[in-house]
Chains A and B, each alone.
Chain A
Amino acid sequence: MYLQELHIQNLRVFAEASATFLSPERARGAEERNAEERKPEYPNLNLVLGNNGTGKSTLLKAIALACLGPLAEKFSPYLLVRRSGKPTPRKRASAIVATGLPEDRAVVRARFQCTWQDVGEKKPSDTSAALAWAFHINRTGDEESVELLYAPKGEVPEATRALWAPIHQNSSPAFLTVGYGATRRVDTDPNAPTPAQRLRTLPLRHQRIQSLFTEGYTLVPLGHWLPQLKARNPGRFKQVFHRINEVLPGDIRFTDRLDGTGEYLFEQQGARVPFAALSDGCRAYIGWVADLLYHICFGCPSGVKLVDNCGIVLVDEVDLHLHPDWQRTVLPRLAQAFPRLQFIATTHSPIVVGTLQRGNLWVCEPAPDGNGSVLAQKETGVHGLNADQILLTEYFGLKTSRAAPKERQLDRIAAAAERKVPGQGAAFLRSLVTPLEDEDPHD
Chain B
Amino acid sequence: MISYPISHAQLRDAIRARDAQWLAKARRATAACVAAGKYVKEDADGKTIDGLWGDIKEVFIRLQHGKCCYCERLLESPAFGRIEHDVEHYRPKSRLRNWFTPAVKAAFPDWPAALGQSGAQAKGYHRFAFDPRNYATSCKTCNSTLKSDYFPVAGTPKLAAASPAGAKREKPYLIFPVGDGDEPAESLIQFEGVLAQPVHAADTDLFRHWRARVTIRFFRLNRTAPEGTAGTAEGRENLYRGRAEALSALADCLDAIETSSNVALLEARQEKVERLTAPASPHTNCCRSFLRLWAEPATRAQAVALWLAAETYLQSQQL
Q: Could you mark each residue 284-322 of chain A with 1 if its beta carbon is under 8 Å from any beta carbon of chain B, else 0?
A: 000000000000000000000000000000000000000
Interface residues of B in 71-85 (CB under 8 A from A): 82-84
Residues of B within 8 A of A418 (CB): 195-198, 212-213, 216-217, 222, 224
B232 contacts A393, C-beta separation under 8 Å: yes
Residues of A within 8 A of B302 (CB): 423, 425-426
A410 contacts B223, C-beta separation under 8 Å: yes
Q: Closest CB of chain B to A402's CB: distance in Å? A: 7
Closest residue of A by beta carbon distance from B47: A33
Interface size class of B (residues with CB under 8 A): 35 or more
Q: Closest CB of chain A to B279's CB: distance in Å? A: 22
In angstroms, Cα B148 to Cα A415, docked, is 23
Interface residues of A in 237-260 (CB under 8 A from B): none
A383 close to B (CB within 8 Å): yes
B121 close to A (CB within 8 Å): no
B232 contacts A400, C-beta separation under 8 Å: yes
Q: Closest CB of chain A to B147's CB: distance in Å? A: 10
**Given contacts A418-B222, A420-B197, A425-B195, is CB(A381)–CB(B140) below 8 Å?**
yes
Q: Which of A411, A417, A422, A429 has the most CB of B within 10 A?
A: A429
Residues of B within 8 A of A423 (CB): 302
A399 contacts B306, C-beta separation under 8 Å: no
Q: Could you mark each residue 22-37 of chain A with 1 if its beta carbon is under 8 Å from any beta carbon of chain B, else 0?
A: 0000000000111011
**Given contacts A32-B48, A419-B110, A426-B309, is CB(A400)–CB(B55) below 8 Å?**
no
A37 contacts B233, C-beta separation under 8 Å: no
Other-chain contact of B194, A34, A402, A407, A429 (Cβ < 8 Å): A429
Q: Which of A388, A401, A419 has the most CB of B within 10 A?
A: A419
B50 contacts A33, C-beta separation under 8 Å: yes
Other-chain contact of B193, A383, A393, A425 (Cβ < 8 Å): A425
A76 close to B (CB within 8 Å): no
| Interface 9-mer from B128-136, B161-169, B173-181, B310-318 | B310-318
Closest residue of B by beta carbon distance from A402: B234
B52 contacts A33, C-beta separation under 8 Å: yes
Q: Closest CB of chain B to A19's CB: distance in Å? A: 21
B110 contacts A34, C-beta separation under 8 Å: no
Closest residue of A by beta carbon distance from B82: A36
A392 contacts B232, C-beta separation under 8 Å: yes
A420 contacts B195, C-beta separation under 8 Å: no
Interface size class of A (residues with CB under 8 A): 35 or more
A428 close to B (CB within 8 Å): yes
Other-chain contact of B148, A36, A38, A379, A381 (Cβ < 8 Å): A379
A380 contacts B54, C-beta separation under 8 Å: no
Q: Closest CB of chain B to A40's CB: distance in Å? A: 11
B10 close to A (CB within 8 Å): no
Residues of B within 8 A of A419 (CB): 110, 202
Residues of B within 8 A of A384 (CB): 83-84
A389 contacts B238, C-beta separation under 8 Å: yes
Closest residue of A by beta carbon distance from B201: A420
A398 close to B (CB within 8 Å): yes
Other-chain contact of B222, A398, A402, A407, A414 (Cβ < 8 Å): A414
A432 contacts B316, C-beta separation under 8 Å: yes
A433 close to B (CB within 8 Å): yes
In angstroms, Cα B85 to Cα A383, docked, is 12
Q: Could you mark each residue 175-192 of chain B with 1 if its beta carbon is under 8 Å from any beta carbon of chain A, else 0?
A: 000000000000000011
A33 contacts B51, C-beta separation under 8 Å: yes
A430 close to B (CB within 8 Å): yes
Residues of A within 8 A of B238 (CB): 389
Residues of A within 8 A of B191 (CB): 425
Interface residues of B in 102-145 (CB under 8 A from A): 110, 140-141, 144-145
B305 close to A (CB within 8 Å): yes
B145 contacts A38, C-beta separation under 8 Å: no
Q: Could you mark each residue 230-258 of chain B with 1 if its beta carbon is under 8 Å from any beta carbon of chain A, else 0?
A: 01111101101000100000000000000
Closest residue of A by beta carbon distance from B149: A379
In angstroms, Cα B306 to Cα A407, docked, is 21
B223 contacts A429, C-beta separation under 8 Å: no
B194 contacts A399, C-beta separation under 8 Å: no
In angstroms, Cα B202 to Cα A428, docked, is 22
**Given contacts A33-B48, A37-B54, A424-B195, is CB(A414)–CB(B140) below 8 Å?**
no
Interface, chain B (partner A; CB < 8 A): 48, 50-52, 54-55, 82-84, 110, 140-141, 144-145, 148, 191-198, 201-202, 212-213, 216-217, 222-224, 231-235, 237-238, 240, 244, 302, 305-306, 308-310, 312-313, 315-316
Given contacts A385-B141, A419-B110, A432-B313, 19 further A-B contacts (CB under 8 A): A379-B148, A381-B144, A383-B83, A392-B231, A410-B223, A414-B235, A415-B224, A417-B192, A417-B195, A418-B195, A418-B217, A420-B197, A420-B201, A424-B195, A426-B305, A426-B309, A428-B195, A429-B240, A432-B316
Closest 3 CB pairs of A and B: A425-B193, A425-B192, A429-B309
